[in-house]
Copies of this chain bind each other. A is one copy, B any other.
Amino acid sequence: MISRRIVIVGAGFGGLACAKELAGTDADVTLIDRRNYHLFVPLLYQVATAALSPADIARPIRRIFGRYRNIHTVLGEVTAIDTAAKTIRVDDGHTFPYDVLVLATGSQYSYFGHPEWQRFAEGPRTLDEARRIRTRLLTAFERAEAADDAAERDRLMTIVIVGGGPTGVEMAGAVGELTRHALARDFRHIDPRRAHVLLIEAGPRLLPSFPKSLSDYAKQALERLGVTVMLSQPVQNIDAGGVMIGGKRVAAGTVVWGAGVQASNIGRLLKAELARGGQILVDTNLAVRGLSDVYALGDVALTPGDDGRPLPALAQVAKQQGEYLGRALAESNVPVTPFRFHNRGDTAVIGRNAAVFDFGRFQVKGYFAWLLWALIHVYLLVGFENRLGVVSHWVWNYLTYERGARLIMEESRGEQNS
Contact = CB atoms under 8 A, between A and B. Distances in A.
B186 A62 contact: yes
Contacts of A408: 35-37, 75
A404 B36 contact: no
A393 B183 CA distance: 27
A92 B146 contact: yes
B146 A76 contact: yes
Interface string A266-309: 00000000000000000000000000000000000000000000
A55 B128 contact: no
B35 A146 contact: no
A67 interface: yes
Interface stretch (A167-175, A311-319, A333-341, A382-390): A382-390
Interface string A81-93: 0000000000010
Contact of A66 (B186, B392, B407): B186
A114 interface: no
Contact of A185 (B66, B74, B402): B66
A72 interface: yes
Contact of A55 (B60, B75, B404): B404
B75 A409 contact: no
Interface string A136-157: 0011001100100000000000
A63 B411 contact: no
A219 interface: no
A76 B183 CA distance: 19
Given A187-B62, A393-B389, A406 B37 contact: yes
Nearest to A30: B188
A402 B127 CA distance: 21
A411 B128 contact: yes
A410 B37 contact: no
A53 interface: yes
Interface in A177-194: 183, 185-188
Q: Of A67, A393, A412, which is in contact with the most chain B CB atoms at under 10 Å from its CB?
A: A393
B75 A36 contact: no
A119 interface: no
A405 interface: yes
A367 interface: no
Contact of A406 (B60, B73, B74, B409): B60
A402 B389 contact: no
27 contacts: A35-B408, A36-B408, A37-B408, A53-B56, A60-B407, A62-B183, A62-B186, A62-B187, A63-B186, A63-B402, A63-B406, A65-B186, A66-B186, A69-B188, A75-B139, A75-B408, A92-B146, A126-B410, A127-B407, A128-B409, A128-B411, A385-B402, A386-B404, A389-B389, A389-B393, A389-B404, A392-B392
Interface of A: 35-37, 53-56, 58, 60, 62-63, 65-67, 69, 72-76, 92, 94, 126-128, 138-139, 142-143, 146, 183, 185-188, 385-386, 388-389, 392-393, 396, 402, 404-412
5 closest residue pairs by CB, A with B: A62-B186, A55-B405, A385-B404, A60-B406, A53-B53
Given A53-B55, A92-B143, A128-B409, 8 more contacts: A35-B408, A36-B138, A36-B408, A37-B407, A55-B407, A72-B188, A385-B402, A389-B392
